[in-house]
Amino acid sequence: MAIKSSNMKPLTDDPQRYRDVYYNAFYKMALKDILFEKVTQFFDTTVMMRLTHAIEGGEEFSVLGVGLGDGPHELHFMKSLRSQFSSICIVGVDLSESMLNTFQERVAALELNCESSVSCQLFNGPFSEFFAGSVLSKNKYNLISSIHSLYHLGDFETTFIQLASMMKDKGFIIVVCAKDNLISKTFNKFTWLSKNTQTLAGLSSTNVREFAHSQGYDVTTVDIPIQWDITEVFEDQSEFGNKLIDFFTQFAFFRKTAPSELMDELVNFWRLVSILDENGRILALSHEEILLISK
């Protein structure tokens, strides 16, 4: 289906709206603080043990963060790693220069407060350009992270092969990806969304796991169930609800710019796949998954 309204714009084309929608709506609704807690807990209890068994503490530990954003997970990883490794280098790749700058400031502050040597190199641009043209893509990394970013990196299978080619022999890739949520359901139902936003929001952790296995990799998974309260999506005048709609569709100001029949189709679908709790709130069940990939 082609988009008929020339006013419709992919959310990634409006970085300011993207940040507003993500941090002030989706982040809160999707309980990202809980996800952060689960991911970092898994890293500290499982990943760190496997890393320290596989890698000598005296060597420089290298990290590649893909779709880094402002890197809250990667910053935590570095805080944990510094207890075992005296030298840590992180390379971050992201489309947002402002987010990369924020991450760099946080790393600089971390370096002042620890004994480990910490270095940070950043690439502002798409992952495809990083892999094709940056000398940093020729390096091998102990740990590669992709935290909810595979949807935006291009063809998934190509991207996975490229990431794996940069992993050291005893290295790991840690991925966080939706297993099943309202966004993946929406993009799988309305395929025109992917075609017009250039995102793979329908990609699931099942796709990642199955492809990794087909390439000969071991995968450890952890399921994280969360309930999204989407009640305000159905309230026309709700600013919070309209921001959620933008993230669910990956279009900026979707309710204002999309043809009314598209809006109606989506709202009806979201009601169909949601549940009503005892308080009258409309909930969408979500499953996120952590995948730890290694040879």
The pTM score is 0.88
Q: Is residue 215 part of a domain?
A: yes
Q: Is residue 185 part of a domain?
A: no
CA distance 3 to 149: 25
Q: Is residue 49 part of a domain?
A: yes
Q: Is residue 66 part of a domain?
A: yes
Tell me the pLDDT band of 115, cut-offs 50, 70 and 90. low
- Which structure tokens are listed for 252? 């900026």
Concatenated DSSP letters for 60-104?
Answer: PEEEEEET-TT-HHHHHHHHHHTTT-SEEEEEEEES-HHHHHHHH
Q: Is residue 50 part of a domain?
A: yes
pLDDT of residue 55: 83
Residue 90's CATH number: 3.40.50.150
- The answer to whether 167 and 54 are in contact (CB under 8 A) is no
Q: Is residue 238 part of a domain?
A: no
Which pLDDT tens digit goes with each residue over 145-186?
Answer: 999 999 888 899 999 999 999 999 999 999 999 999 999 999
Tell me the pLDDT band of 4, cut-offs 50, 70 and 90. low
pLDDT of residue 275: 97
pLDDT of residue 214: 97
pLDDT of residue 109: 86
- The answer to whether 169 and 196 are in contact (CB under 8 A) is no
- The answer to whether 39 and 73 are in contact (CB under 8 A) is yes
Given a cut of 90, whether residue 2 has pLDDT beyond it is no
Q: What is the DSSP letter of 204?
A: -
Given a cut of 80, whether residue 5 has pLDDT beyond it is no
Q: Distances from the Cα of 243 to the Cαs of 199, 237, 280, in angstroms?
A: 18, 11, 21
pLDDT of residue 43: 97
Tell me the pLDDT band of 54, cut-offs 50, 70 and 90. confident
Total number of domains constituting the chain: 1
Whether the CA torsion 229, 232, 238, 242 is positive or negative: it is: positive
Tell me the pLDDT band of 230, cut-offs 50, 70 and 90. very high
If we measure between CA atoms, which residue out of 127, 276, 272 comes closest to residue 190? Answer: 272
Q: How many CB atoms lie within 10 A of CB 213?
A: 12
pLDDT of residue 178: 93
Mean pLDDT of 259-275: 96
- As a whole number, the mean pLDDT across the chain is 92
Q: Is residue 119 part of a domain?
A: yes
Which pLDDT tens digit goes with each residue over 32-45?
Answer: 999 999 999 999 99
Q: Is residue 42 part of a domain?
A: yes
Which pLDDT tens digit goes with each residue over 71-87?
Answer: 999 999 999 998 888 89
Q: Give me the domain span that covers residue 139.
A: 9-179+198-227+287-294
